[in-house]
Structure formats: C-alpha cells, structure tokens
Amino acid sequence: MLKKKVEEILVNQIEKEAYSSNLYLAMAVWADTNGYEGTANWLYAQAEEERLHMMKFIKYVNERGGKAIIPSVEQPPSEYKDIKAVFAKVYEHEQYVTELISGIVGVCLEEKDFTTHNWIQWFVTEQIEEEASVAAINDKLRLLGDHNLYMFDRDIMGMRGQVPASSE
C-alpha cells in the first residue's frame, strides 16, 4: 500500500510525463513542418517513450493500492527559433525531469517506502541515459555550427538512445 505522500508525488509525476509527451509531440510537429523529417521522427519516438513512462506510473500507482489520476495537461510551446533551440529545450526539460525523479527518491526515503524506492531506480537510470543522449546531440549541433544540418537530420535516428562511451 502506498503512503499518501508517495502516492501524491507519483500522481504528480503522471502529469509531468504527460506534459513531456505533449512537449515532444509539439516539437515533432514543428520539426515536421519545417523540413526536419529525421528530427521529427526522433521527437515522435521520444513522445511515445514519455507516454509509456506515464503509463508505468499509472499502473504502478494502481497496483500498489493508490489511484492514478489522469490530468489535464498544459499546452506546450509550438514554435521554435531553430533546431538548436529545440534541442536546448529538450536538454533543459530532461534536467527538470531528473530533478522531479530525484524528488520522488527523496520522498520514498523520507517515508521509508523502499518498494517504491527500488521501483523508481529504473527512472533514475533512464534519466542519466536521456541527459547523456541529448547532451551528445547538442555537442554535435555545436560542432556543426549552422552547416550540414541536412546530414544531422538524416542521421539523428542513429543517435537515439546512444550514451557516449565516457558515460558508461
């Protein structure tokens, strides 16, 4: 059975994961309508992954005796200056999600909910991988400057989920 504080923070995370999915969908639409097909596909895949994360939280809350609440979600921005601005925002957002997951870990420890603490470790690892992957994309964009974005866009799906060797 979930303790009330743990249930509340997990239910809050459901909304955050839903927003993440919608944010990446909005970015994907921007990329799609601006000729960045590869980037759009990468972002569509990220949006789906965030939706699956939301589902993990929903199922976990319900399985542990709580009640998941399906939230309304704030509309994300739909316009971006350029591809670099998109990925700068992706990185900033992933850092924010990492903070949220760390907050859940903290509440689990405060409440001595070691079952949820153990379960949330998957998300801790996931966030390490997400941040490293997006940091690598931002590094590549910095190296490119304003050139060869066609090749970047063509090759981005090959970068999906890759963690740089120095992070392993």
Angle between helix axes 83-110 and 114-144 (nearest 10 degrees) is: 160
Q: Binding site annotation covers 46? A: no
Q: Is 130 annotated as a binding residue?
A: no
111 is an annotated ligand-binding site residue: no
The annotation status of 17 as a binding-site residue, yes or no, is: yes
Q: How many CB atoms lie within 10 A of CB 110?
A: 11
- Let me know if 139 is exposed, middle or buried by CB neighbors in 10 A (0-12, 13-18, 19+): exposed
Q: Are 69 and 62 in contact (CB under 8 A)?
A: no
Q: 127 labelled as ligand-binding?
A: yes
Residues tagged in the binding site annotation: 17, 50, 53, 94, 127
Residues tagged in the binding site annotation for Fe cation: 17, 50, 53, 94, 127
